[in-house]
C-alpha cells in the first residue's frame, strides 16, 4: 500500500495534463486537462477507478460539494459493463471547495445530459481504465520523480492519508 504527498499528486496531475513534447520538438501533441482533474478527484475523494469511469454529470453537485457514487464500470472480455459499486451501495462523497469549483468548470464543457459521462476517452467515448492507465497514468508516473510502483488505486489510499 502506498500513498502520495499532496505535492506528488499535483505533480502527477500536471504531468498527465501536459505530456511531453513531440519527439521532433515543438508543441505538445495534445493536452489532457480532464485527466489532471481526474487524478486530483481520485486523490482527494478516494473514489475507485471504476466509479470515476462511470460517473455521470447528473451525479455531481458542485454547489453542495458532493458526488453521488451509484455505479461502477468494469471491462469484461473487452466489453465495458456498468453495474453496482463494489459494495453494492450508493454513497455521497464530499469534495473540497477548490475541487468542486474545478469540477463545475469541467462540467460546463460536458453535455448537459445528466446521463453523460463526466470523464471520457480522448476521442469522446467512454473512458476505459485499462487504456487510461497504460496510455496516460503509467507514462505520467514514469516521467515524474515519484515511486515507480505507484498504481491508480494508490490514489484511494492517498485520499485516506490526506484527510
Phi then psi for residue 28, to 5 deg, are -60, 145
Q: What is the per-residue pLDDT across 13-68, written as a single tens digit (0 to 9) for each?
A: 999 998 876 655 555 557 788 999 999 999 999 999 999 999 999 999 999 999 99
Contact 54, 74 (CB under 8 A): no
Nearest-angstrom CA–CA distance, 48 and 41: 10
In this prediction, residue 144 has a pLDDT band, given cuts at 50, 70 and 90, of: confident
CATH number, domain 6-162: 1.10.443.10
In the numeric block, the cell 447528473 is attached to: 58
pTM for this one?
Answer: 0.91
Q: What is the pLDDT of residue 30?
A: 73
Phi then psi for residue 81, to 5 deg, are -125, 130
Q: What is the pLDDT of residue 23?
A: 59
Q: What is the per-residue pLDDT across 82-139, written as a single tens digit (0 to 9) for each?
A: 998 888 789 999 999 999 999 999 999 999 999 999 999 988 899 999 999 999 999 9
Contact 64, 35 (CB under 8 A): no
Phi then psi for residue 134, to 5 deg, are -75, -35
pLDDT > 70: what percent of the chain? Answer: 94
Q: What is the pLDDT of residue 74?
A: 93
What length does the chain have? 163
In the numeric block, the cell 465495458 is attached to: 80
> What are the boundaries of each domain within the chain?
6-162
Q: What is the per-residue pLDDT across 6-19, written as a single tens digit (0 to 9) for each?
A: 999 999 999 999 88
CB within 8 Å of 22: residues ≥ 6 apart: 28, 29
Q: What is the pLDDT of residue 1?
A: 81
Which residues does residue 59 pair with via DSSP β-bridges, in sequence order?
A: none
Amino acid at each position: 500500500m502506498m500513498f502520495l504527498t499532496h505535492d506528488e499528486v499535483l505533480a502527477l496531475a500536471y504531468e498527465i495534463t501536459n505530456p511531453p513534447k513531440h519527439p521532433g520538438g515543438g508543441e505538445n501533441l495534445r493536452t489532457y486537462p480532464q485527466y489532471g482533474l481526474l487524478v486530483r478527484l481520485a486523490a482527494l475523494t478516494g473514489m475507485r477507478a471504476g466509479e470515476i469511469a462511470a460517473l455521470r454529470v447528473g451525479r455531481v453537485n458542485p454547489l453542495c460539494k458532493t458526488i453521488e457514487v451509484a455505479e461502477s464500470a468494469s471491462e469484461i472480455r473487452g466489453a465495458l459493463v456498468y453495474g453496482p459499486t463494489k459494495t453494492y451501495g450508493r454513497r455521497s462523497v464530499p469534495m473540497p471547495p477548490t475541487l468542486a469549483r474545478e469540477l463545475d468548470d469541467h462540467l460546463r464543457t460536458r453535455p448537459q445530459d445528466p446521463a453523460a459521462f463526466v470523464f471520457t476517452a480522448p476521442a469522446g467515448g467512454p473512458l476505459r481504465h485499462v487504456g487510461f492507465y497504460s496510455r496516460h497514468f503509467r507514462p505520467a508516473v514514469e516521467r515524474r520523480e515519484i515511486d515507480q510502483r505507484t498504481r491508480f488505486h494508490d490514489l484511494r489510499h492517498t485520499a485516506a492519508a490526506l484527510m
